Chain A
Amino acid sequence: MFNFLFKNKVRKYTFSGGIHPKENKHYTEECPIEKLPLPKIVYIPLSQHTGKIAKPILKVGDKVKVGQLIGEADGRISANIHSSISGVVKDLKELPHPLIFSRVLTYVIENDGEDIWEENIKKEFVEKDFSSEEIIEKVHKAGIVGLGGAAFPTAVKLSPPKEKVIDALIINGCECEPYLTNDYRLMIEKPKEIILGALLLKKALEKNSKNIRLIFGIEDNKEKAIEIFNSYKKEYNFEVYTLKTKYPQGAEKQLIKAILKREVPSGGLPFDVGVVVQNVGTAYACYEACYFDKPLFERVITVSGNGIKEKKNLLVRIGTPVKDIVNYCGGYVGEIKKIIFGGPIMGVAIYSEDMPIVKGTTGILFFNERDVLLEKEKDCIRCGRCVEACPMGLLPCELHKFIKKREFDKARDYSLLDCIECGSCAFACPAKIKLVQSFKFGKQEIWKKEKK
């Protein structure tokens, strides 16, 4: 009724809780995506996804082409792995992994400098209609996983259980982590491709459900992206929701709540409320997989932080070691203290410059002594900032007290298992308590008990 009052004002959606860290996106948001020169050697781990490790199908000494299958998905929840360069398999052994804290079977491939691609990868775009089954098949073959960081196999996500009716597909363009701009750059450089990819994802879901709404959710700090997507929405029939810039807006549950006002039940999945969420990067990868038969062997990452000379957005081949990226970006500034895979709030600190980029790597942050905090942990003063920050409605300080006293049952009663480890509480804590660390430990103890 009062809509006319808000005609010129865009409605902004959000969730309750959350934090407002310094965005620091200005370092790279104006940097166009550059292609990183091909690395001499790539390290391609066979586990770059949630689920079972892929089965190796090549031997040491075999020749490979770009995009050639080298690891086969093993079981339902797994993903194919492809070579990202052409050359020779030098080694297949267990090597350190950036995200998994044990050694993982990894291909070491030496570049022959030819960059020969698999023949079946198409060079030109031809408009075509695909069936749902075709799309899921192609996505599976291409080894696509969620590129927002979680790396869940996309083909699995596109095949919800038959009884679940899906009525909305949300394309996640929030990019709520500070520093990262890889999704933003992709959105303004390849909007049409992302939309075509999103339409494919929608089509794939139409196997079981009809009338699926296609929604793009974008934070209001990406005005340009919102503008571009708004200009396409009539032509391709989708909706654009402007979301308030707040961390963790990009978390699945918070995104669904903000846009559709639905709450994924505790312990449930987005399927349970009829929603599938995919990242914009994933949509782009699907576009490439379907129209070009191109497997996922490269991705866009953001390189930023005070510790690196030139901050960039780069298109890199999977398996490229960090040191190649450092060299290309002009080297370090000051004494490097921390290298983070992913964003600064949920990312993982790595311990070696030999670590390779994997499918789920959204960015690499280089922190020197200016960024690294080594504040001492103090006792909780019960200020309640963590309670206010928690997007899941938990009481982080109370949970921490239970875990400290090893009262895991109590922590469970206080819904520890609902924690999404977004780190908002730890960010907000003035006593600098390592809350996420404590909760990870607490969850493990609870799971251990359950197994018994």
Chain B
Amino acid sequence: MNEKLIVSISPHIRSDISVEKIMWSVVWALIPATIGAGYFFGIRAIVLIIISVVTALISEYICNLIFKREISIFDGSAVITGILLAFNLPPQVPFFIPIIGSFFAIVVVKQLFGGLGYNFLNPALAARAFLVASFPQTMSASYTAPYYGTISGFDTVTQATPLSAIKNTKIMGTPEDLEILLDKATSWESLKNLFFGNVGGCLGETSAILLLIGAIYLLIKKYIDYRIPLSYLLTCFVLSLIILPIKRFPNYHIFQILSGGLILGAFFMATDYVTSPITKKGRIIFGIGCGILTMLIRHFGGYPEGVSFSILLMNVATPLIENYTKPRVFGKK
């Protein structure tokens, strides 16, 4: 008998993928948008992101110690939560906001439920919902224009982000006002600003192109499944064709896709492994559900934007979706 031989159950080889590798890749994929946040909203944006990440790491570490779990601050997941939370904050929020938010995300949403893999809500989004409910004034009034552009992305008069501007005018303005606003909002200039991120909004959500660079990297590496973002965005697009006047096709419909947090949400938050279905069919249904809720909230709800709430609602529906989308077992009817 050779004492040095290891005896273990098969398989004896494994793929080189690991939890850390996936998580850190997502962090890398968020870097372009992080740099974008600094470019558009200045050093303050970077400070907010750093505060958020550091708070997340400290909270995670303290929880590891209290709950006597393995130290998990190096697996990258807390860093992602920190970045994503900051990405969902307006640029002018006071510094205590990311501290409270990150703490809530890690301690209440993630660690109290058992840590990575056990939380049923996306920590960053749940924390954002918590902040919106607790500090409504701060969270809605802290938007500013990017350095080289305007807050609305289409004129200097409108002092609100594109989706808020439309919502406000819908509620308070005349139909003529709305028409004028929509004309401006759906101009190619406005769409260009939305695409590159030269517009007001939360830190990380404004630049579609920078988010897409990271997303494409993750899709190529197969670290995220294309099914959720694809079905999510397609649903939003199709619904916008149904709900919205076809008059400004396709500009208005592209505007719906590029504005708000849709790109960020579809590629980086709806795709969170832990809180989305594990089945292929389930992922498509999850994406469609997110899309329907997002468009409903945007057009009929009280909030100008519905991405974070719709993803959270679908997070809750995930076990149900999984239950009804189990793959067919080989050899069974």
Partners in one complex: yes
Q: Give every chain A residue within 8 A of B280 (Cβ-Cβ).
A: 384, 387-388
Q: Which residues of B contact A432 (CB under 8 A)?
A: 14, 18
- A381/B273 in contact, CB under 8 A: yes
B329 and A378 within 8 A (CB): no
B19 close to chain A: CB less than 8 A: yes
> Do the beta carbons of A383 and B331 come within 8 Å of each other?
no
Q: How far is the CA of A223 from the CA of B129 in the complex (A)?
A: 58
Interface status of B66 (Cβ within 8 A of chain A): no
A62 on the B face (CB < 8 A): no
Task: Say which residue of B11, B75, B115 sits within 8 Å of A426 (CB atoms).
Answer: B11
Q: Mark B275-294, 1 if CB is under 8 A from A, else 0.
A: 01111100100000000000
A73 at the B interface (CB under 8 A): no
- CB-defined contacts of B328 to chain A, threshold 8 Å: 393
Within A14-47, the residues touching B (CB, 8 Å) are: 19, 21-22
Contact: B330 with A253, CB < 8 Å?
Answer: yes
Pair A335/B7 contact, Cβ less than 8 Å: no
**Residues of chain B contacted by A382 (CB below 8 angstroms):** 117, 273-274, 276, 278
Whether, in the assembled complex, B118 has its beta carbon less than 8 Å from a beta carbon of chain A, the answer is: yes
Query: Which of B5, B21, B279 is within 8 Å of A338, CB to CB?
Result: B5
For chain B, what secondary structure do more than half of its interface residues adopt (helix, strand, loop), or is it mixed?
Answer: loop
Known: A381-B117, A427-B15. A348 touches B274 (CB 8 A): no
Nearest to A385 among chain B residues (CB) is: B17
Does the CB pair B331–A265 fall under 8 Å? yes
Chain B binder among A87-95, A126-134, A349-357: A349-357
Number of residue pairs spanning A and B whose beta carbons lie under 8 angstroms apart: 162
Q: Is the CB of A434 within 8 A of B4?
A: no
User: Which residues of B are found within 8 Å of A430, using beta-carbon distances?
Assistant: 15, 17-19, 21-22
User: Contact: B273 with A351, CB < 8 Å?
Assistant: no
**A57 is an interface residue with CB less than 8 A from chain B:** no
Given the known A-B contacts A351-B7, A423-B10, are A418 and B332 also in contact in the complex, defined by CB atoms under 8 Å?
yes
- Chain A residues, CB < 8 A from B277: 384
Q: Say yes or no for B180: interface residue by CB 8 A criterion.
A: no
Which of B1, B19, B274, B278 has the most C-beta atoms of chain A within 10 angstroms of its own C-beta?
B278
Asked whether, in the complex, the Cβ of B12 is within 8 Å of the Cβ of A338, the reply is yes
What sequence of 0s and 1s flags, for each residue 426-439 of chain A, a beta carbon within 8 Å of any chain B beta carbon?
11111110101100
Whether A415 contacts B329 by the Cβ 8 Å rule is yes
B2 within 8 A of A: yes
Please encode chain A, from 225 to 242, with 1 for each CB lying within 8 Å of some chain B CB and 0 for all others.
Answer: 000000000000000000
Most buried by A among B18, B114, B328: B18
Among candidates B4, B5, B13, B22, residue contacting A345 with C-beta atoms closer than 8 Å:
B13
Q: Report the interface size for chain A: residues with CB under 8 A from the other chain.
A: 68
Once A21-B13, A426-B11, A436-B10 are accepted as A-B contacts, the answer to whether A384 and B273 lie under 8 Å apart by CB is yes
Interface string of B105-131 (1 = CB under 8 A from A): 000000000111110000000000000
A418 touches B279 (CB 8 A): no
User: A436, B11: Cβ atoms under 8 Å?
Assistant: yes
CB <8 Å contact, B330 and A392: yes
Interface: A337 (CB within 8 A)? yes
Question: Taking the complex as formed, is B327 at the interface, i.e. its CB lies under 8 A from any CB of chain A?
Answer: yes
| B12 CB contacts on chain A under 8 angstroms | 338, 340, 344-345, 347, 349, 365, 367, 371-372
State whether B2 touches A351 (Cβ < 8 A): yes
Q: How large is the interface on B (under 10, 10 to 19, 20 to 34, 35 or more residues)?
A: 35 or more
Which single member of B2, B4, B19, B326 contacts A381 (CB below 8 Å)?
B19
**CB contact under 8 A between A375 and B14, given known A336-B4, A349-B6, A382-B117:** yes
Q: Is B171 in contact with chain A by the CB < 8 A criterion? A: no
Contact across chains for A383 and B273 when beta carbons are under 8 A apart: yes
> In this assembly, does B9 line the interface, its C-beta being within 8 Å of a C-beta of chain A?
yes
Give the residues in chain A near B279, CB-CB below 8 Å.
384, 387, 395
- Assess the A21–B15 pair: CB atoms within 8 A: yes
User: Are A352 and B1 in touch, CB under 8 angstroms?
Assistant: yes
- Please report the C-alpha to C-alpha distance between residue A49 and residue B7 in the assembled complex, in whole angstroms: 22
Contact B14 A379 (CB under 8 A): no
Q: A393 and B19: CB pair below 8 A?
A: no
- Tell whether, in the assembled complex, residue A381 and residue B274 are in contact, meaning their CB atoms are under 8 Å apart: yes
Give the Cβ gap from B318 to chain A, nearest Cβ, in Å. 9
A436 and B116 alpha carbons, distance in the complex (Å): 23
B274 and A375 form a contact (CB under 8 A): no
Q: Which A349-407 residues sit within 8 Å CB-CB of chain B?
A: 349-353, 365, 367, 371-375, 378-385, 387-388, 391-395, 397-398
B331 pairs with A263, CB closer than 8 A? yes
Q: Is B8 an interface residue (CB 8 A)?
A: yes
B1, A351: Cβ atoms closer than 8 Å:
yes
Asked, given contacts A392-B330, A393-B328, A397-B278, whether A349 binds B5 with beta carbons under 8 Å apart, the answer is yes
**Can you list 26 pairs linking A and B with CB atoms under 8 Å apart?**
A263-B331, A265-B331, A266-B330, A268-B331, A337-B6, A338-B12, A345-B13, A349-B5, A350-B7, A351-B7, A365-B12, A373-B14, A378-B19, A378-B75, A379-B116, A379-B118, A382-B117, A382-B273, A384-B280, A388-B280, A426-B10, A426-B11, A430-B22, A432-B14, A436-B9, A437-B9
Question: What 6 pairs between A and B have smallest CB-CB spacing?
Answer: A423-B11, A384-B278, A379-B117, A266-B331, A437-B9, A393-B327
Seed contacts A418-B331, A430-B19, A437-B8; 16 additional CB < 8 Å A-B pairs: A19-B15, A257-B330, A263-B330, A265-B331, A335-B4, A338-B8, A344-B10, A345-B11, A347-B12, A387-B278, A415-B332, A418-B330, A426-B14, A430-B18, A430-B22, A440-B9
Q: Residues of A with Cβ closer than 8 Å to B?
A: 19, 21-22, 178, 253, 257, 263-268, 335-340, 344-353, 365, 367, 371-375, 378-385, 387-388, 391-395, 397-398, 414-415, 418, 421, 423, 426-432, 434, 436-437, 440
